[in-house]
Chains A and B, each alone.
Chain A
Amino acid sequence: MARHHLSAQPDQAQVDAYLSALAGWLHGPRRRRARILAELKDGLTHAIDGHVSHGRSQPEATSAAIAEFGAPQVVAQAFAGELTAAHARKTIAAYVATGPLVGIWWLLLLRPYPWHGGLIALLAAIPVIPMIAIIMAMAVGTLATTGSLMRWLPETHPRRALTLTMTIAALALAADVTVVALYIRSDIPMQTLAAVACTASLIRIVGGALTLRRTTTMRRWLDQTTSSSPREDRDARR
C-alpha cells in the first residue's frame, strides 16, 4: 500500500504540473477556465486508467495520457475561440444588465421639463440616447449570434465578437463621459439623484477601461493562436 502510494505521488505531480502549465496558457473568464481544467483533469485520469488497464505502469500510463492530450500550449490554443466567445458574452451581458441601472438615474436627472416635450426635447436633453440604442442593438445581436440563436442566424466568429465587445465598451464609456460632462456644464444642483447617477457612471467608466484592457489581451492571444496550424495539435501528441 505504501509502495503504491509512493509510486502514485510522482504521477499526480506530473498531472498537476501539466494542468498548471495549461492554466498558465489559458485566458478568459475564471470560472470557464476552472471548468476546462476540471474537465481535462477528469479526462486525463480516465485516460491514465485506460492505459493502466492495458498493462502499463502508472508512470508510463501518465506519460502516455499526457502525450495523448497534447502540449499545454496547443491545448490552450484550441480553447481560445470558446474562451474568447465566453469573455465577449459575459462582458456584453454585464453591459446589458447594468445599462438600465445606470441609465435610469440620468433619465430622471436630465429629462426635459415639462416631460411632455416629446422625443426631440428628450434627445436634446440627453443626446447619448441614439448611442445607447446602437449599443443595445449591437449587444443583443452579438449575444444572439454567439448563443443559442446561432442555430438559425449566422454565427459571429469569436474574433468579431471581441471587436463588437470593444466597440460596445468604448461607446458605453463615451456615453458615460458625455452625460457626466453634460451634468458638470449644467446648473443642476448636486443632490442625491445627481450623486447616484455620477457614481454609477464613474464606476462604469473604470469598469469600461478595465474591460477594454482585458479584451485587448484576449484579442492578442487569439491572434497568436491563428499562427498555429491544426496539424500542430496532432503532432504534439506524438
Chain B
Amino acid sequence: MLPMRPELLKGHLDTLLLAVLEDGPQHGYAVIETLRAGSSGALDLPTGTVYPALHRLERAGLIASDWETVGGRRRRAYRLTTSGQAALDDQRAVWEQFSAAVTAILGRRAWPATT
C-alpha cells in the first residue's frame, strides 16, 4: 500500500492519535508504529508530524503524559484524558458521517449509507 502524505491527513491527525491512545498509554514512537501497523503501512507518518501533534494535543488537554521507566529506559507515555475520550467520540461520529458522504460521491452510492 502506498504511504499517504502527511498533508492529506490534515484535520484528521488529531483524531487518529486519540484513537491510537484509546487502548492504553503509549510512547511517541509506539504511536508511530501503531499507526503504521494498523494501516498496513499507509499511515507511515514522520517523527516531525507525530511528536509535535502529541505535544499540541497535550496542550489542549486532550491527552496527558508522564515519564515512566521501562527496562531501565526512561520514556514519556501519553494517555487519553476524559476530555480526549469525549473529543474522540465526537470526531468518530463526524468521521462516519463524512466518510459515508464522500464514499457516496466517489463510489456513486446512496447517501446516507445504509448497512
Spell out A's residues near B (CB within 8 Å): 35-36, 38-40, 42-43, 45-47, 50, 68-70, 74-75, 77-79, 81-82, 85, 146-148, 150-151, 230-231, 233-234, 237
Contact = CB atoms under 8 A, between A and B. Distances in A.
What does DSSP make chain A's interface, helix, strand, loop or mixed? helix
B61 A35 contact: no
Contact of A237 (B46, B52, B60, B76): B46
Contacts of A231: 5, 7
B51 A36 contact: yes
B47 A43 contact: yes
B60 A151 contact: yes
11 contacts: A36-B51, A36-B55, A39-B28, A39-B76, A42-B28, A43-B32, A45-B73, A75-B47, A147-B59, A147-B60, A234-B6
A40 B55 contact: no
B29 A78 contact: no
B52 A78 contact: yes
B74 A46 contact: no
Contacts of A233: 6, 46, 48-49
A50 B37 CA distance: 13
Contacts, number: 88
A46 B46 contact: no
Given A69-B46, A78-B51, 19 more contacts: A36-B55, A38-B76, A39-B27, A40-B47, A40-B51, A43-B47, A46-B29, A68-B47, A70-B48, A75-B47, A78-B49, A81-B56, A147-B60, A148-B83, A150-B59, A230-B6, A231-B5, A234-B6, A234-B46
Nearest to B70: A42
Contacts of A237: 46
Identify which of B7, B46, B83, B87 gathers the most chain A CB atoms within 10 Å of its CB: B46
B92 interface: no
